[in-house]
Amino acid sequence: MTAPLPTLQEARRALDSDETSSLELVSNSLDRAASIGSRLNLFLGTRDEAAMTAAEASDARRAAGEVRSPLDGIPVAIKDNMVQAGEPTTCASRILEGFISPYTSTVVERLEAAGAVIIGRTNMDEFAMGSSTEHSISGPAHNPWNPERSTGGSSGGSAGAVSARIVPGALGSDTGGSVRQPASFSGVVGLKPTYGRVSRWGLVAYASSLDQIGVFARSAADAAWLLEAISGHDPLDSTSLPEPAPHCSEALDGDVSGLVIGLPREYFVEEGVDPRVLARVREAVGELERAGAKVRDVSLPHTDSAIATYYLIATAEASSNLARFDGVRYGRRAQGTEDLTDMYQRTRSEGFGTEVKRRILLGTYVLSAGYYDAYYRKAQRVRTLLRRDFEEAFQGCDVIATPTAPEVAFGIGSKTSDPLRMYLSDVYTVSANLAGIPGISIPCGFVEGLPVGLQLLGPPLDEPALLRVADAYQRRTDHHSQCPAEFA
Amino acid sequence: MAHITRDEVERVAALARLSLTDEEAERMADELDRILEFVQVLEQVDTEDVEPTSHVMPLRTPLREDRAAESLDPELALANAPAREGTAFVVPKVIEAEEEG
């Protein structure tokens, strides 16, 4: 097996001192994607030739003293719901079989402009609908820490690829926790930025008012580099915020003295959560206290309503967004159909998997005449209350600390027969999407050999604070440096 | 708010242009029923005088300069078409008007 990939910072140093080349890094990355990646089912496709060519170009730039950014020459992976011109995008769905994108997403364009080398597309829950990366046309992704366990989802392939040292960094998308929860399960850093911080142009839409592209890496410092590369205003996305990309790296000085961490009491009730997970999270908060941070009780009183609110709004938006998959302009079309309606119905019924159909049905139902006010409108009103909860809580603290997930990685197949139980996996993560605020999950220890995630939430646009706290924690601990023995 | 019947599941499926097998419709009715029962937790929340949130950030309508710009090349736009003719997407014959919009 080829050498495990270094972190982004390590790779940059090795490139700058000519101890390695982009070609070597990318070729190691592709080798590991083919061996480990295949075994754990983390990738839906790699672009070996294009990646090697891009690596050679990067090496030429370095030789000429024209390095574009810290990411120049470094291999990264993208979730298979971000398009790149001339490459397939499947969203792990049968309905997009054979689709080749005619254009490139803003995030991919920015990564490439920074010199990063995209090696392939990672496994995910179909159309990002799921919490386990099991609802995929190519079958479940396996957790590098224990292949019988889930990577989490829906960006499980990206989380697993960073965890198994196949790439130093990867992109995912987070609609209700789909970056943070798999980061927690896979023992890596996962950052969901503020809604609008990163352009969604070229991200296949699931729930447009909640979707946000995020990053996976092994340290807060690495995550900061990736975020800086992909964020900032984009005229092609009308919901993209006007603010320029944040200078997060400058915030990483290890100093958290006087910073106030809020602990929402509703997240620390010992019900529906593994007490050992809560214990690891409390230990992590204790570590930050020793580093000089202050801890305060806060309240997010509408927490109990978050999952219901999320699943009503997300499915409503999904039912509308997924109407575009109709077999007319792209994707797979059912053959031998009688008329247009029959073609639509058979194309969609053959093309979508069960979880996607379930969410389209739920979304269509809650938007349909007679139910709109009782379900969808009601959920939008509760969403306002959830936003206010955070606004009030941040009056009294700088960041909020919670567990990322109520448990460590669950067994593959253990929740697929019970959709509602699966939905409850997102209990700690959905609120950030509903409120539009940034969140990060960082490794904070282990339970029975499986990683636990600490979630930090911040006010809108305060990714620098989240990364500062995460970095300070990582300077004092080594949980984030742990690697599944087999892949070290 | 209460139980979703199998008939309702089939009505909603038709609206969403999905066709379900008997077995699927049966199972979906059961699962959706449990999910809808779960979301009733929202009935306990007082939302009197609370404005709905459809979007978390203040949405502006950004304007661009009124100048022609390049858009997707028709050949590229048609490249993924399951069936095409010239610069058009081909669909099965629409014999009669659709029953609803």
| pLDDT tens readout for residues A387-419 | 999 999 999 999 999 999 999 999 999 999 999
Average pLDDT over chain A, rounded to an integer: 97
Q: Are the beta carbons of B42 and A379 separated by less than 8 Å?
A: yes
| pLDDT tens readout for residues A77-126 | 999 999 999 999 999 999 999 999 999 999 999 999 999 999 999 999 99
- CA pair distance A278, A275, nearest whole angstrom: 5
How far apart are the CA of B68 and the nearest CA of chain A, in angstroms? Answer: 15
Helix (H, G, I), strand (E, B) or coil at A469: helix
User: What pLDDT score does B61 carry?
Assistant: 78
List the CATH number of the domain containing B27: 1.10.20.60
**Mean pLDDT within A286-305:** 97
Any domain includes B35? yes
DSSP A134: -
Q: Is the pLDDT of residue B98 over 70?
A: no
| pLDDT tens readout for residues A172-215 | 999 999 999 999 999 999 999 999 999 999 999 999 999 999 99
Any domain includes B16? yes
Q: How confident is the model at residue B100 (pLDDT cuts 50, 70, 90)?
A: low
**Mean pLDDT within B36-49:** 95
From A68, A79, A91, select the one nearest A118 (Cα to Cα).
A79
Amino acid found at A264 = P
Task: List chain B residues with CB under 8 Å of A381.
Answer: 47, 50-53
Token representation of residue A45: 């496709």
Any domain includes B12? yes
A2 exposure class (CB count in 10 Å sphere: 0-12, 13-18, 19+): middle
The total number of structural domains that make up chain B = 1
**Mean pLDDT within B57-62:** 76
- CA pair distance A194, A167, nearest whole angstrom: 25
The number of angstroms, rounded, from the C-alpha of A390 to the middle of its chain's C-alpha atoms is 22
**Mean pLDDT within B43-64:** 88
Cβ within 8 Å of B, A 154-213: 195-196, 209
What domains, with CATH codes, occur in chain A?
A: 8-263+394-487 (3.90.1300.10)
Any domain includes B9? yes
User: What pLDDT score does A138 carry?
Assistant: 98
Q: How many CB atoms lie within 10 A of CB A159?
A: 37
Cβ atoms A464, A441 nearer than 8 A: no
Helices B6-15, A354-367: inter-axial angle, 10-degree rounding: 90
Does residue A378 carry a catalytic annotation? no
Q: Identify the closest residue of chain B to A318 by CA–CA distance.
A: B16
Average pLDDT over chain B, rounded to an integer: 89
Q: How confident is the model at residue B94 (pLDDT cuts 50, 70, 90)?
A: confident
**For residue B30, what are the domain limits?**
1-46
Q: Is the pLDDT of residue A462 over 60?
A: yes
Any domain includes B98? no
| pLDDT tens readout for residues A12-59 | 999 999 999 999 999 999 999 999 999 999 999 999 999 999 999 999
Task: List chain B residues with CB under 8 Å of A371.
Answer: 1
Any domain includes B54? no
Any domain includes B20? yes
pTM: 0.97
Any domain includes B69? no
Q: How confident is the model at residue B57 (pLDDT cuts 50, 70, 90)?
A: confident
